[in-house]
Every structure is written in structure tokens, then in C-alpha cells.
Homo-oligomer: A and B are copies of this chain.
Amino acid sequence: MAVRDTGAEQLIKDTAKQIFFAEGKRNATTQDIADAAGVTRTLVNYYFRSKDILFKQVFDEAMLDMRNKFDAVLAADLPFRKKLEGFIDMFYAEVTAFPYKESFMITEINSHDFDIDKKEISPALRIFIKDIQLEMEKGTIKKMRPANFMLNLFSLLAYPLITRPLFKKLFELSDIEFERLLHDRKKMILEMLLC
């Protein structure tokens, strides 16, 4: 009697995640995913009924995953500056593991049927927004809507990563040079946000 493996479902999702986010193969077919996972194409369908469902599940999991990581950092019991530093480090680590995830999400976010099912603002985010307002009162950061502070943070972090190929060409940079550039940014972003 065979041992129930049962890991197939998660294996397929992980493989899809890898293909989409790490390898950047946006148009991978179910066949491609099945092949990479070492299962038959129909098994993919057995578990997920349709490609769209697999798609959505992988996407949602990735979103949730990222949100959990965000929350962990944002709700941590640390001084504001440390939180920011932790956030930046976490973000860069994510991008190193899944270089295409940002770009992929951008696409999804802009697709016509984008709809994440969330009820309310995450508690961690609520805490962080409080932090931001406090810092503004203390004068360590400029006065602005908290949403704009968040937008600035994300912008300065994420945008260079998703347009990396373009800017490499534009400024004639090697991979190493671009890495150096990114490295410089960490301190710089802190300064821009906190000055």
C-alpha cells in the first residue's frame, strides 16, 4: 500500500511561484508548470480545475505572504528608524529571491478584474500609520499624508527593481555597477524619508 504523498498540490503551487516570480515566465502554460513540477498536465487541472484558479491562488498566496512579512516588520516593537531599515532589508531579500514578483504584481494589479478581498486596513499598517503621524509631530519626517509617505517608501524601493533592465541600458551600467547603485540607495532612502 502506497504512502499518501499529498504534497502534490503544494508542489504545483510552489513550482508555479518559481516559474512566475523567479524565472519571470509570465506566459508559462499549464504544461510548462506540470513539466517543471514533474507531474502530468492533467494533475494540475485535477487540483485547480482551471488555470485561472491556479493563477489566482498563487497570486493570492504571494500577496498574503508578502503582507505577513510586511506586518511582522511594521508591527515590531522597534524605533521608527529601525523599522524602516528592517523593511528595506526585507524588501531587498524578497526581490533577490523572486526578481519578477514585483513586475508580475504590477501587471495583475492593473488588469481589469483585479480585486483583492480585504475587509479593512491591516492592524500592523494601522500601527505604522500611527508611527508615521507621531514622527511627523516629532518633526523627524516632513508633514504629509501618511499614504504619501508609504507611497514614497515603496516607490524608492521598488521602482528601480522593476525597471532595472531599462536603467541598466540607459546609464550603460554593468550588473555589478547596478548592484552598487542599489546598495547606495539604502542609506539614501532613509535620508530622503527622514530628513
Q: Which residues of A contact B (CB under 8 A)?
A: 24-26, 100, 103, 105-107, 109-112, 114, 116, 118, 120-121, 125, 142, 144-145, 147-148, 150-152, 154-156, 158-160, 162-167, 169-173, 181, 184-185, 188, 191-192, 195
Contacts and interface: CB of A to CB of B under 8 A. Distances in A.
Contacts of A165: 109-110, 114
Given A125-B170, A155-B160, A195-B195, A148 B185 contact: yes
Contact of A169 (B25, B118, B192): B118
A106 B162 contact: yes
Total copies of this chain within the assembly: 4
Most buried by B among A109, A155, A160: A155
